[in-house]
């Protein structure tokens, strides 16, 4: 029996990650938040702590993340070209300070709270037409599941997700097998 883990469908992910209007800064930032959860597997607290200096765009583009218990990890950005391009463009706009921050004139540049990030996630889902209730942590589950479905190794996904033990990551293998056995092509397009 597989423990219940909510994962977004590819259709939902595609809708959420669709490009925002060029003039809508909040929508653009909401997409960055969604990409950090869905395509990088970051927890909401990790997104809140992320600074522009934590984004490395060199030969091996990655994020330097401080996770649970202060453990540091490297999250590859090259696994998804769209996310790499979106974060590179966003970093150019931000230059320094928190990667996601208040865009209001009165508090511009202040770090967003976890609650504010969660609200922005919900807004991104609503604008994308996702009608079911999906938490930002579901983005993390989606990342792990689709990374394994996409052929990434258990160890690579464990390291990117920051799981302390490979047995945590192995739970997603059972989910991947379950999803592959479903034979409902439109659920995840596998």
The catalytic residue positions are 43, 68, 137, 140, 163, 172
Cα separation, 128 vs 10, whole angstroms = 13
For the chain, give the number of residues.
190
With a CB cutoff of 8 Å and minimum separation 6, the contacts of 148 are 154, 157, 172, 173, 176
Residue with tokens 């070209």: 81
Per the listing, tokens 């959860």 go with 37
Do residues 130 and 9 lie in contact, with contact meaning Cβ atoms separated by under 8 Å?
no
């Amino acid at each position: 029996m597989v423990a219940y883990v909510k994962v977004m469908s590819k259709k939902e992910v595609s809708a959420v990650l669709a490009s925002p209007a060029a003039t809508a800064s909040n929508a653009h930032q909401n997409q960055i938040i969604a990409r950090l959860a869905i395509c990088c597997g970051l927890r909401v607290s990790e997104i809140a702590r992320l600074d522009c200096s934590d984004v490395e765009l060199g030969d091996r583009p990655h994020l330097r993340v401080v996770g649970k218990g202060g453990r540091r990890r490297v999250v590859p950005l090259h696994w998804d070209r769209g996310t790499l391009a979106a974060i590179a463009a966003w970093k150019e706009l931000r230059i320094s300070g928190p990667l996601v921050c208040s865009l209001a004139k009165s508090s511009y540049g202040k770090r967003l709270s976890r609650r504010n990030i969660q609200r922005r996630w919900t807004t991104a889902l609503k604008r994308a037409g996702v009608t079911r209730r999906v938490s930002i942590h579901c983005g993390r589950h989606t990342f792990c599941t689709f990374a394994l479905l996409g052929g990434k190794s258990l160890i690579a996904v464990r390291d990117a997700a920051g799981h302390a033990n490979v047995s945590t990551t192995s739970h997603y293998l059972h989910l991947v097998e379950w999803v592959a056995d479903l034979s409902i092509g439109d659920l995840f397009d596998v």
